[in-house]
Amino acid sequence: MSNIEQTLSIIKPDAVERNLEGEIKEIFKNNGFEILKEKKIQIEKSEAENFYRVHETKPFYNDLCDYLSSGPIVVMVLEKKNAVKANRELMGATNPKDAENGTIRKKYGISIDKNSVHGSDSADNAKIEIDFFFKD
């Protein structure tokens, strides 16, 4: 069964700042993802708070929202068979120290907070996150 899915990817401020946008997009394309939509934006802290609402009670929530709104980001809709899981695998573990060789976070992540990329964690959340950034 073909299960073509879409997922939301974000190239986070630490990676955009280091001019890694082109390299990271190449990794997605080389792994069979099609970039259906993309835009480079900087969001307000209030928008980051809404995007990461699921983490509201975590001790790192405030820093996380400050960080995501601290500089330009690139948000993308990626499409591939089983895109949500495939993207999570390609990104690697949340903490770059724990990420497998060959993953984006292993290659580019600086720390658990500056881990270079975001990816939706389920098909349902992918829909919500794609709407969040691309509903016009």
Spell out, one character per residue from 76 to 95, where the chain touches ligand IDP: x when CB under 6 A holds, - when not. Answer: ------------------x-
In angstroms, the CA 42 to CA 72 distance is: 4
55 catalytically annotated: no
Q: Which of 121, 123, 125, 134 binds ligand IDP (CB under 6 A)?
A: 121
Helix, strand, or coil here: 80? strand
Closest CB 84 distance from Mg ion, rounded Å: 11
Q: Nearest CA to 120 among 6, 7, 3, 2?
A: 7
Q: Do residues 44 and 73 touch, judged by C-beta distance below 8 A? A: no
Structure tokens at 40: 């480079």
Any contact of residue 112 with ligand IDP (CB under 6 A)?
yes
According to CB under 6 A, which one of 6, 9, 69, 115 is a site residue for ligand IDP? Answer: 115
Query: Which residues in this chain contact ligand IDP in the complex, by CB under 6 A?
Result: 55, 60, 64, 94, 112-113, 115, 118, 121
